[in-house]
Every structure is written in structure tokens, then in C-alpha cells.
A = this chain, B = another copy of it.
Amino acid sequence: MTIAPWRPALARALHRNRAQAYCRYLQLATVNESGKPSNRTVVFRGFVDEAIQMVTDSRSEKVQHIQACPWTEICWYFTVTREQFRIAGRITLISAAHDPDAVRLNAWQTMSANAHQQFYWPHPGEPRVSQAAFEPSATPSTAYPPDSFSVLLLTPERVEHLELRGHPQNRYLYQQTEGEWQLQEVNP
């Protein structure tokens, strides 16, 4: 498989911004059941083939949004190099219902015991319960993911890369049509 033409630019941005742990944070937009947009920060968990991998609590609202409308656009701004990637495409949700699934198992096993903890916490977004429910003793880390653990795979169809440095800024648009990526330079 040939590599998508926007991949080297994104790889370079990740490398050049690696001193900031938050360079792996991006904003994921979804549409909710009422047709309104929703937006939150998630963590980039590497690639699975061409897809951008993220994880989520299965009980999170964004899972319902994605089930109703799998389309998303992520916005990923890199502060050191001052560049932005907007990546639009369809999300595939891999939940416990897909077990056994190698991608989901692998995503779980590459995460730290500390990161595992929150998947044993009480229902996110519900009224806050007592501190005891969040204690490490109550949240075992296991070799296999709990039902609350889901993987999100975003398969890009459109990638826009904006470099703020330079006069004027550089803006590149990559679009996939019939399996082929086309690159066009556009006005910033």
C-alpha cells in the first residue's frame, strides 16, 4: 500500500512538536442527535493502517453521536511549528460488541495501568459521586479491556494542512476521490 501524501507532513509535525506532550491532543467534532455540533479534546493513539486511532469510554456521549452520524472532522493544531491539520472522514467504532478484536485488544495493552483506571470509574457525565469510587484500589488494571473501552478509527477522506508561518500562510488540500489522493494548493 502506498502511503497517503499527507502522511509525511503529519509525521513531520508530530516529530517537530514532540517536546510538548500535548502535541498528541486534538479536537474531535461530532454531530449530536439533534443535529448540533459537539467538540472535545481527545488523544491521538497512533495509526492503524491509514486510520487515526483514538480511544473513548463507551459510555461517553460521543459514542452515541458517532453511532447516529459517523462523520467527523478533527482539528489538530501544533503550537511549536504553528501548523494545523483538519482531517475529515468517517469513524469506525470498535466496542466490546466486536470481541474478539485485535485492534481493540492492542490499543488497551499499549496503554498504561494509570490510563486503564478511568475505564473503571463511574459513568462519565453523570452527577459526581463520592471520591471513593475513583480510588486506585477500586480500579483494577487487567490484561483484557472492560466493556467501557472502545476504539475510534478515523479514516481520512479530506485533509487540509495550514502552515501559519510564511507570508502568506500555506494551505494544502488533499482529497480522496475513487481511492486516489489529489493535492491542491489553495488560498489561505
- Residues in chain A within 8 A of chain B (CB atoms): 20, 22, 25, 27-31, 35-41, 69, 71-75, 77, 79, 84, 86, 88, 118, 121-129, 134, 167-168, 171, 173, 184-188
* Bound complex: CA A165 to CA B20 (Å): 17
Do residues A188 and B40 form an inter-chain contact, with CB atoms below 8 A? Answer: no
A151 to nearest B CB, angstroms? 20
Do residues A29 and B39 form an inter-chain contact, with CB atoms below 8 A? Answer: yes
Set B20, B118, B167, B187: member contacting A126, Cβ < 8 A? B187
Contacting residues, chain B, for A69 (C-beta < 8 A): 35-37
* Among all A-B residue pairs, the 7 with the closest Cβ atoms: A29-B29, A29-B39, A29-B37, A27-B27, A39-B75, A128-B185, A134-B168
* Bound complex: CA A171 to CA B60 (Å): 14
Do residues B79 and A187 form an inter-chain contact, with CB atoms below 8 A? Answer: no
* Bound complex: CA A114 to CA B116 (Å): 47
Contacting residues, chain B, for A30 (C-beta < 8 A): 37
Contacting residues, chain B, for A86 (C-beta < 8 A): 39-40
Known: A36-B88, A134-B167. A121 touches B187 (CB 8 A): yes
A139 to nearest B CB, angstroms? 10
Do residues B187 and A40 form an inter-chain contact, with CB atoms below 8 A? Answer: no
Contacting residues, chain B, for A74 (C-beta < 8 A): 39
A11 to nearest B CB, angstroms? 20
Contacting residues, chain B, for A123 (C-beta < 8 A): 187
* Bound complex: CA A129 to CA B20 (Å): 35
Closest B-chain residue to A123, C-beta based? B187
Known: A125-B186, A125-B187, A184-B127. A79 touches B36 (CB 8 A): no
